[in-house]
Amino acid sequence: MRKHLDDIHVDEDENEINLTPMLDVVFIMLIFFIVTASFIKEAGIDVNRPDAPVTESKPEEANILVVISATDDIFIDRRLIDPRAVRANIERLHAENPKGSVVIQADNKSSNKVLVEVMDSSRSAGVYNISIADKR
């Protein structure tokens, strides 16, 4: 009834776990998840950042400067403008200088809502070249 020592060693070799099939399954699952994953691009706003310090431009290519203060007041040509009149003012200035673009200079403490409203007003006025600058 006693087993021989040779039989015990044979049983230990047969009880060894083979991990190769498990690794194959893991790699197949990995490939499946990579192929079926959907890569979503989030929608956003394109922002034109200035690359160099602001320089003086020629008068015929002058930009329309819109300043948003920390209290969300909007200034165009150093005049306080009602938010509903931004489009009309930009249309008037753009008609005077069709090559000019809109530069929005927003204070760090101003709200993003006002910034987006000014950008929308500029686009509805027909000006699509919009840049955002920070106050220095």
Tens of pLDDT, residue by residue over 112-125, are 898 889 999 889 88
Strand arrangement of the beta sheet that strand 102-106 belongs to: 79-81, 74-76, 64-68, 102-106, 130-134
Q: Looking at this protein, which amino acid is placed at residue 48?
A: N
Beta-carbon-side half-sphere exposure of residue 134 (alpha carbons within 13 Å): 6
Any bridge partners for residue 68, and if so which? 74, 106
pTM to 2 decimals?
0.54
Identify the H or E element spanning 84: none
Question: CATH number of the domain at 59-134, out of 3.30.420.270, 3.40.50.410, 3.40.720.10, 3.10.20.740?
Answer: 3.30.420.270
**Each residue's pLDDT tens digit in the chain (136 positions)?**
555 555 555 555 567 778 788 889 999 999 988 888 877 666 777 766 666 565 555 555 678 889 998 898 999 988 898 888 999 999 998 888 888 888 888 888 888 898 889 999 889 888 888 888 876 5
- The residue with tokens 């306080």 is 80
Task: Output the CA–CA distances (angstroms, integers) from residue 101 to 10, 54, 57, 110, 128, in the order listed.
Answer: 85, 14, 12, 22, 8
Question: Cα separation of 135 and 45, whole Å?
Answer: 20
Domain-by-domain residue ranges, the chain? 59-134
